[in-house]
Amino acid sequence: MQNNFDAVRLGLALVVVFCHLAVLTGLPAFQPFLAYLSADFAVKGFFVLSGCLVTRSFLSSTSGLDYAEKRVRRIYPAYLTTILVAWLVGLAATHLPAAEFLGTKEAYNYLVANATFLNFLQPTLPGVFEQHPVPVMNASLWTIKVELCLYCCVPVLMYLFRRIGPYAVVVLAFGVALGWEWLLGQSAALTPKMVAELGRQFPGMLHLFALGALFGVEERRLGQYMGWVALVSGPLFWLLHEHSLRAVVEPICYASVVLFLATRLPFHWKAGKWGDLSYGAYLLHFPLIQLFIHVGLFRGYPWLGLTALLLVLLAAAFLLWHGVEKPWLKRNSHYVAAEIVR
């Protein structure tokens, strides 16, 4: 069945790119992106789509080991390549002599910490982007460790789907995710910024993932209602701006919107014609923006710099897909099969 999952994922990735561009450059020309686009919506939309697609991957796997292997093949090769690319960017951009850079423990801590998904332990490289508003190499990588935690939950979710029913499990997931955020807010030792940072870590996104998983197994029943759910939850989400119930309505609104766009539109945009570029674009955009700022490509002509950034980013994502991601996937992967069909 034709769908627009590829197009929606690429669109969400580009939303994150535009929002990060506005934050990292601080240029007035790009600030409207923050007024009209939401990186929060885009990232949470990714978790919903991931819940749907990864659940289907689990259900089509021959064993738990087969499922785990597919997840590792999909995530880790491109992720590790991105870390190495960012490290090389740092080596080229540092104000330190190359020998001094290579002699620092931070340079190698970066590789180890990020390769093991502990990005917060070493988010920067010595002498790199120190004058930038945000000096970190790749602040987008935090979502990957959350994704991996959610992947580990899929067998448990599917077991509970069978035992107590999928809708009860989604309610339970809401309780866990919102309870986690509430508990963090009760700690006097945590600042509001720390609460927000920890709240988006696992299990803070479990309810979004569970909504996607529910749709993954119940699309025939739920698909026809996605538009109506979006029409109802959207205004509620806006009206409940300062109300605690917004925490309940928001994931339902976000999930219904992205799932409607992915499955119910009357047309099919072949966004995956040249491969699945969304993951590569998401992984690579942050260090590329930082590098463009470093060399001054946004000075004077910000829109020309943005055009160059998008061209380089999509080309890099294309190379990452065909050079790293696709070769590591199994031949029966739906990503490979989808590209062949197109």
For tokens 């339902």, name the residue.
252
Report the alpha-carbon distance of residue 17 to residue 39 in Å, rounded.
8
Q: Which helix (H) or strand (E) holds 216?
A: helix 206-222
Tokens of 61: 């796997």
Say if CB 90 and CB 108 are below 8 A apart.
no
pLDDT on residue 269 = 85
pLDDT in tens, 190-243: 998 999 999 999 999 999 999 999 999 999 999 999 999 999 999 999 999 888
Question: How remote is the C-alpha of 255 from its chain's centroid?
Answer: 14
Q: How far is CA 275 from CA 8, 279, 280, 281, 317, in A?
A: 14, 10, 10, 12, 9
Report the alpha-carbon distance of residue 47 to residue 200 in Å, rounded.
11
pLDDT on residue 71 = 97
pLDDT under 50: residue ranges of the chain:
340-342
Most distant CA atoms of the chain, gap in Å: 61
Tokens of 27: 């240029």
Tokens of 316: 């890099």
pLDDT on residue 270 = 84
pLDDT on residue 341 = 45
For tokens 């072949």, name the residue.
270
Say if CB 47 and CB 144 are below 8 A apart.
no
Q: What is the pTM of this model?
A: 0.94
Say if CB 201 and CB 242 are below 8 A apart.
no
Report the alpha-carbon distance of residue 328 to residue 335 in Å, rounded.
11
Nearest alpha carbon to residue 181 among 202, 156, 160: 202
Domains in the chain: boundaries: 5-341
pLDDT on residue 268 = 84
pLDDT on residue 335 = 58
Identity of residue 304: L
Tokens of 60: 């089509």
pLDDT on residue 340 = 46
Classify each residue of 96-118 as buried b or exposed e, where b means 16 or more C-beta atoms within 10 Å of its C-beta: beeeebeeeeebebbbebbeebe
**Residue 187: exposed, middle, or buried by beta-carbon count in 10 A (0-12, 13-18, 19+)?**
exposed
Q: Which helix (H) or strand (E) holds 45?
A: helix 39-60
pLDDT on residue 279 = 98
